[in-house]
Amino acid sequence: MTKPTESGQTLSDEQIVEMYWKREERAIQETDNKYGKLLFRIAYNILHDYCDCEECQNDTYLGVWNTVPPNRPVVFPAFITQIMRRIAINRYKEKNSKKRIPSELTVCMDELNDILQSNEKVEEEYETKEIGKIISAYVRKLSINQRYIFIERYYFAESVECISERLGISESTVYRYLDKIKYDLKLYLERNGIYL
């Protein structure tokens, strides 16, 4: 996943963040070396278009450049993947209003429709951030495999085929896990007063 630097070493996240902090342009190159493939993969799973992915990747690096400083991310990979995910989802929304994009995100969202029931704009009542925190608490309760499957599928929008291959289990097993996770998540959200 990572390419070594010119000196043959991969920089640590702290070193990369430090370079951003000092406004060293090499920080972008180092980020690309270390996380370029991962970021591209996230974008591709969402957008399914190479040109868009490259643009999103560049926007992500620019976003990090503009955000650090003043912010100093504690967990750098989570920080950049969140930025990339946001940018890609925004691009997805923009494009999807014109035509349906055949990406994994489209499939993921169709899957999640099972637990969304009403047409009300619930985010008016509950902040998305709040729901995110409740989902975090739910994710912590999952088993290692369930957690892996949930995050891969709904955070990274990874294909079921790819997940099953990585875990060495069949696709139908992954689907079974996903059904159970979705069902339990719905119950968990309801128990916390969130009726989707």
Partner 1 sequence: MNKYLIIEALNYLDDDIIENHICRKKIMCGDINKEKHPMRVRRKLVCAGTLLILVVFLTGMYFVIFPKIELDNYVGNMSVKYVPNWFVKSNDNEMLPYYTETELFERADFVYSGTIKEIKQIKIDFDGIVVYNSLITIDVDKVYKGECPSKITVIAPPIRAFYDDPDSNLLYSIKKGDYGIFLSEQISEGKQMSENGCAFEISDICDATFIDGSRFGFIKRKNNTAECCDTLFPHNNSSDNVFTSLRDYTWDDVVTYVEQMLNTVKKGK
Q: Which residues contact 107 (CB under 8 A, 6 or more apart)?
A: none
DSSP for residue 2:
-
81-140 residues in contact with partner 1 (CB under 8 A) are: 81-82, 85-86, 89, 93, 105, 108-109, 112-113, 115-116, 118-119, 121-123, 128-129, 131-133, 135-136, 139-140
The distance of closest approach from Cβ of residue 1 to partner 1 in the complex, given in angstroms and rounded to an integer, is 6
CA distances from 86 to 6, 42, 48, 82, 107 (A): 31, 11, 15, 6, 18
In sequence order, which ranges of 142-170 are alpha helices (DSSP H)?
144-150, 160-167
14-43 residues in contact with partner 1 (CB under 8 A) are: 37-38
Cα angle at 180 between 175 and 186, to 5 degrees? 125
The token pair that represents 185 in the structure block = 């998540």
Q: Of all residues in the chain, what percent are helix, strand and coil, respectively (each to 5)?
A: 70, 0, 30
Under the binding rule (CB under 8 A), the answer on residue 10 touching partner 1 is no
The distance of closest approach from Cβ of residue 124 to partner 1 in the complex, given in angstroms and rounded to an integer, is 10
Helices 76-96 and 50-67 pack at an angle, to 10 degrees, of 130
49-88 residues in contact with partner 1 (CB under 8 A) are: 74-75, 77-79, 81-82, 85-86
The distance of closest approach from Cβ of residue 114 to partner 1 in the complex, given in angstroms and rounded to an integer, is 11
Q: Which of 1, 69, 125, 190 binds partner 1 (CB under 8 A)?
A: 1
Q: Which is nearer to partner 1, 108 or 160 (CB)?
A: 108
Residues found near partner 1 in the complex (CB under 8 A): 1, 37-38, 74-75, 77-79, 81-82, 85-86, 89, 93, 105, 108-109, 112-113, 115-116, 118-119, 121-123, 128-129, 131-133, 135-136, 139-140, 144, 147-148, 151-152, 154-155, 165-168, 196
